Structure 1
Amino acid sequence: MPNNTKFLICAAGIFVCYFYFGILQEKITRGQYSYEAVDENGVSTKVEERYTYALALVFVQCFVNYFFAKGMLYVWPHGEDTTPKLYCASSALTYLLAMVCSNMALQWVSYPTQVVGKAGKPIPVMVLGVLIGRKSYPMKKYFFVLMIVIGVILFMYKEKASTKQSDTSFGLGELLILLSLTMDGLTGAVQERIKAEAKPTAQQMMLGMNSFACMFLAVALLLSGELIKFIEFVSRHPIVVTHISLLALAGALGQLFIFLTVTEFGPLPCSVITTTRKFFTVLGSVMLFGNVLSARQWLGAVTVFTGLFLDVFFSKGPPKKK
């Protein structure tokens, strides 16, 4: 198959899988689910509720990712994975916290806000690289990251209402996005050490991370009591099972196309595809769910993605050690 055809297939796979993933994620976390509740007098009342079980949602995603990676390693066997268990557990914990915070944020912010906020991932990666990894970056890298920071601030800043008290501080949803970004940066730092020392394949890393993530989540679900509440919610709204299953499958397939793109063409084309995908996810959310953006938010979104594109195209090569 020609390289151009392979590239188009990989790009289409990433676009379709993660576009559908974003639609399902917003449908699950921000949609209203209704059912008929009958009291002791036999009176029926329509009750509406929202899905709020972030731990259960992430558990299903990690569970499907684990078996998806297991299947890929069964079909395409690799050598023995020598990654220390402590590294796998550490990366799984930070990866898990990032996903949980990101999903929980959708209870307070719209999906476009979450996507643009998560687009600032280079910020914690750079900060942790300087503070922990003792790395240095060229000045243009700092400029591109500054563009991303300014864009995120423009997008997430809350306007002063004419009849209400001014609210210029971040809310709980924005705080969760910042925590998710911090966890993303820590995950990247641990993964860099794993790659340098153990050199596992992408499938092996995916398998190791998700196996520990499933164990952590199983304990958290039992201790928090969320598992029982999740089962009760699903029994009232069986359609949620279909939505979550499709969400997990779309996420696993999207990761497969990302691995294929990196393997065949390298990380730079993959970054271009995923960055472009994020912007069109915002557009799709605006059109499908009515998340209307102000002119200031559009300016912020464009600034964020412009900074990301410039970083992808002009920040070539790995950062240097100090």
Structure 2
Amino acid sequence: MSVPSIGAQGAANVAVTVVREQTKSNVFDFRGPLSQPMGNPVKLFFYAGGIFLTYFYYGVLHEEITRTKYGPKKEMFVHAQSLLLFSCVMNVLFAKLMLSTFLKQGVDTTRRSYYIISSFTYLGAMLASTICLQFVNYTTQVVGKSCKPIPVMVLGVLIGGKRYALSKYLSILVVVLGVALFIYKDGKAAAKASSQGSMGKGELLLLVSLALDGLTGAVQERMKSEHQTKSGHMMVMTNLWSVVYLVIAQLFTWEILDFIHFIQKYPSLITNILLFSITGALGQTLIFRTVSEFGPLPCSVVTTTRKFFTVLGSVIIFNNPLGTRQWIGVVLVFSGLIADAYFSKSSKAKK
């Protein structure tokens, strides 16, 4: 169940991006040559299956960790900083392994200030999307985070002066319509939402996460244009600086002490958190391999389709039922995302 990743949303999360301004599972730009030939279809099937399985389990663990009520007091896991610290450390280790084996990308010349800024917004997006799970279910988070191309596109126009094809706007319009159908509240849900305010905390945190995703994408675009930053270096340095930020935050909040106390009370969490971190990092590794060997379009279709099954899994496993209108919204969202990936690839291939 993203993102991708981040990740998870994330870690989410993570949550990974495959092509610039394209919907993807992570915030990183993992582009490969658009014109490269299709590789071994058996290997592609293996990679796709690996992405499905790792991120599906990642999403199950993410929802189980953050939405389970523990013990007789029905305590909730609220230690997002510590959870992301483990996840980012694991991402750094896997990225270092990739750069030293199959993904050798030379020397990184990117200015440190770009990494400092992008990792801050990247981490903020992951924190917001993780904390929002205390207020909304994983299905809502996945569908909401699927709007990532919208802030990326808006900031690209306003800040970067970019121009997009009509097909891009139409694809994103379909996504917006699908999300609107999905989150629209009627009847008792609308009355409850009205009594709590026009927007709940979960939805507000999703908006914050999306805005920070857009800022992250804008900074990464600058890194690409000025320094031709490679994806492997971007993954290592962004996660490494995120670890630095999280360690500094721990010095002020000492959340790690509450985290340790919590897992001592509920030791089953230790296994879940380790598996959560490993599956997220492994999923990012498989995305790297898919893009480098088969190109961004197959990977984008795989990761987008994976999100759909994430929604389906959340509905079945965690009993998050959807109405007819919401299912229509889900189909529109992922149809728009796949169309966006296809037309983005086609328009670039013509240049």
After TM superposition, is the score higher than 0.5? yes
Distance 1:303-1:169 versus aligned 2 partners, 3 A rule: farther
State the match for 2:58 in structure 1: 21
Q: Structure 1 counterpart of 2:137, which letter?
A: S
Shift of 1:67: 1.4
- Cα deviation for residue 160 of structure 1 reads 2.8
1:101 to 128, 136, 153: 128
The DSSP-based 3-state class of the residue aligned with 1:47 is: coil
Which residue identity does 1:18 align to in structure 2? Answer: Y
Do the aligned partners of 1:268 and 1:312 also contact (CA within 8 Å) in 2?
A: yes
Deviation at 1:74, TM superposition (A): 2.9
Q: How many angstroms does 1:318 deviate by?
A: 5.1
- Percent identical among aligned pairs is 50
* Contact 2:193-2:200 within 8 A present in 1 as well: no
Selected match of 1:134 from 161, 164, 172: 161
The answer to whether structure 1 residue 153 and structure 2 residue 210 are counterparts is no
Cα deviation code 1:134-179 (max 9, x no counterpart): 0111222111111111111111122231995663822110111111
1:72 Cα offset (Å): 2.2
Residue equivalent to 2:15? none
Aligned to 1:121: 148
Written as runs of structure 1 = structure 2, the 5 A alignment for 1:233-252 is 233-252=262-281
After superposition, the Cα gap between the structure-2 partners of 1:163 and 1:224, relative to the gap in structure 1 and judged at 3 Å, is: closer
Question: Which structure: greater strand fraction?
Answer: 1
- Looking at structure 1, the residues matched to 131 and 162 of structure 2 have their Cα atoms a distance apart, in angstroms, of 32
The Cα of 1:88 is off from its aligned counterpart by 1.0
Whether 1:73 aligns to 2:110 is no
Aligned counterpart, 1:193: 222
Per the alignment, in what secondary structure is the counterpart of residue 71 of structure 1? Answer: helix
Q: Distance in 2 between matches of 1:88 and 1:188?
A: 12
Task: Give structure 1 stretches of 5+ with no counterpart.
Answer: 35-45
- In structure 2, what residue type is equivalent to 1:20? Y
Q: Which amino acid aligns with 1:62?
A: C
1:204 partnered with 2:233: yes
Aligned length: 308
The normalised TM-score by structure 1 is 0.91
Q: Report the secondary structure of 2:299's partner residue.
A: helix
1:12 equivalent in alignment to 2:49? yes
- Provide the C-alpha distance between the structure 1 equivalents of 2:166 and 2:117, rounded to a whole number of angstroms: 31
Tell me the CA shift for residue 232 of structure 1.
1.0
Residue 286 in structure 1 maps to residue 315 in structure 2:
yes
Q: Rg larger in 1 or in 2?
A: 1
Give the unaligned 5+ runs of structure 2.
Answer: 1-38
Rounded Cα–Cα distance in structure 1 between residues aligned with 2:280 and 2:79: 18
Q: Which residue of 2 aligns with 1:262?
A: 291
Structure 2 CA distance, aligned partners of 1:64 and 1:56?
13
Measured in 2, the distance between the counterparts of 1:112 and 1:55 equals 22
Of 295, 298, 302, which aligns to 2:324? 295
Q: CA RMSD in A?
A: 2.0
Cα deviation, residue 63, structure 1: 0.9
Q: Deviations over 1:286-310 (max 9, x none)?
A: 0111001111211111111111111
Please tell me the residue identity of whatever aligns with 1:58.
Answer: L
* 1:59 aligns to 2:85 (yes or no): yes
Given that residues 17 and 254 in structure 1 are in contact (C-alpha distance below 8 angstroms), is that contact kept between their aligned partners in structure 2?
A: yes
Match of 2:70, SS? strand
> Does the residue aligned with 2:340 lie in a helix, a strand or coil?
helix
Task: Supply the distance in 1 between the matched residues of 2:171 and 2:211 (Cα, whole angstroms).
Answer: 19
Alpha-carbon distance in structure 1 between the residues aligned to 2:190 and 2:129: 31
Q: Quote the offset at 1:192 in angstroms.
A: 1.7
Query: Which stretch shows the higher mean deviation, 190-199 or 162-171?
Result: 162-171
Contact 1:91 1:187 in 2 (8 A): yes
Structure 1 Cα separation of the partners of residues 215 and 297 of structure 2: 21
Establish whether residue 274 from structure 1 lines up as the match of residue 300 from structure 2. Answer: no
Equivalent position SS for 2:134: coil
Alignment correspondent of 2:9: none
1:187-243 C-alpha deviation (Å, 9 max, x unpaired): 111112222222233221111101100000111122123121111111111111110
- Determine the structure 2 residue equivalent to 1:39: none
Q: Tell me which amino acid in the other structure corresponds to 1:157.
A: Y
- Tell me, yes or no, if the aligned pair for 2:51 and 2:287 is still in contact at 8 Å: yes
Check whether the contact 2:155–2:218 (CA below 8 A) recurs between aligned residues.
yes
- 2: CA distance, partners of 1:116 / 1:174: 11
Residue 160 of structure 1 contacts residue 166 of structure 1 at CA under 8 Å; is this kept in 2?
Answer: no
**Residues 165 and 285 of structure 1: is their aligned pair in 2 closer, same or farther, counting only changes over 3 Å?**
closer
1:119 is displaced (CA, Å) by 0.7
Farther-moved stretch of structure 1 (209-218 vs 73-82) = 73-82
Once structures 1 and 2 are overlaid, which stretch shifts more, 152-161 or 195-204? 195-204
